[in-house]
Chain A
Amino acid sequence: AQKVTQAQTEISVVEKEDVTLDCVYETRDTTYYLFWYKQPPSGELVFLIRRNSFDEQNEISGRYSWNFQKSTSSFNFTITASQVVDSAVYFCALSEFANSGNTPLVFGKGTRLSVIA
């Protein structure tokens, strides 16, 4: 069964600090997809990144970077020089590629990030 664990329930940092959000997943499939979403107080989930299981390259997008390590089943998300606008709940999610196609997203419980000015 697929499972996503975000062990950090809440994190508070001071503006300009770097912060890493952890995501550990479990799957029996060799082909799967990992995602990160941001949910600001307004409520809308914003898609940040999709990573395929066969692509272990790390990714950087501005102040955001993602570290995917299959050996530890982790897909961690780092925000560099955090800003108040980064305050949100961040969800990690997993979808497997089963025999008939992609399975629905399984979300972690989310990490609430508060960036204090």
Chain B
Amino acid sequence: DTEVTQTPKHLVMGMTNKKSLKCEQHMGHRAMYWYKQKAKKPPELMFVYSYEKLSINESVPSRFSPECPNSSLLNLHLHALQPEDSALYLCASSQDGVNSVGYNEQFFGPGTRLTVL
């Protein structure tokens, strides 16, 4: 079962709101990822968790705060976002992660389409 789920599917928030994006996988994968994708662009890596520890932060502004409560769950907490943060946020997982040896093909969730007003 190669499925990654994300909630919510759509989110509209104001610049002063606090919201969270959620991602879940039950494939026993050891690495989980957050990507941001703007229209007509490829996905941009934001964060990587490997074995529940943050292993990569691609210089993402602190208004984005990731959290990995356990090996199956990944959250992205949002606070004081800007309109330019509006994008599709994709979560992915892989059996093995970066900085490890093994299967690193990533399986993506359907994404959360975020609009910041």
Interface residues, chain A, CB within 8 Å of chain B?
A: 33, 35, 37, 42-47, 50, 91, 95, 97, 100-105, 107-110
> Would you give the shortest CB distance from A76 to chain B, in whole angstroms?
18
Q: Distance in Å from the Cβ of A66 to the closest Cβ of chain B?
A: 14
Q: Which of B21-29, B62-70, B99-107 contacts A (4 or more CB under 8 A)?
A: B99-107
Among B11-19, B42-50, B77-85, the stretch that binds chain A is B42-50
CB of A101 within 8 A of CB of B56, answer no
Are the CB atoms of B45 and A105 closer together than 8 Å? yes
Complex: A59 Cα to B48 Cα, angstroms: 30
Residues of chain B within 8 A (CB-CB) of A97 are 101
**Given A44-B108, A44-B110, A47-B107, CB of A102 within 8 Å of CB of B42:** no
Sampled A-B contacts (21; CB under 8 Å): A33-B104, A35-B105, A43-B110, A43-B113, A44-B109, A44-B111, A46-B108, A47-B2, A47-B105, A47-B106, A50-B103, A91-B43, A101-B97, A101-B98, A101-B100, A102-B96, A102-B99, A102-B101, A102-B102, A104-B56, A104-B98
Q: In the complex, what residue of chain A is closest to B45 when comparing beta carbons?
A: A104
Given contacts A47-B106, A101-B98, A103-B98, 5 further A-B contacts (CB under 8 A): A45-B90, A47-B107, A102-B102, A104-B56, A109-B42
The residues of A that contact B106 with a CB separation of less than 8 Å are 47, 105
Interface size on B (CB < 8 Å)? 28
Chain A residues near B43 (CB-CB < 8 A): 45, 91, 107
B111 — which chain A residues lie within 8 A by C-beta?
43-44
If A42-B110, A44-B109, A45-B108 touch, whether A101 touches B101 (CB-CB below 8 Å) is yes
Q: Distance (Å) between the CB of A42 and the closest chain B CB? A: 7
**CB neighbours of A35 from chain B (8 A):** 105
How long is the Cα–Cα vector from A47 to B103 in the complex, in angstroms? 13
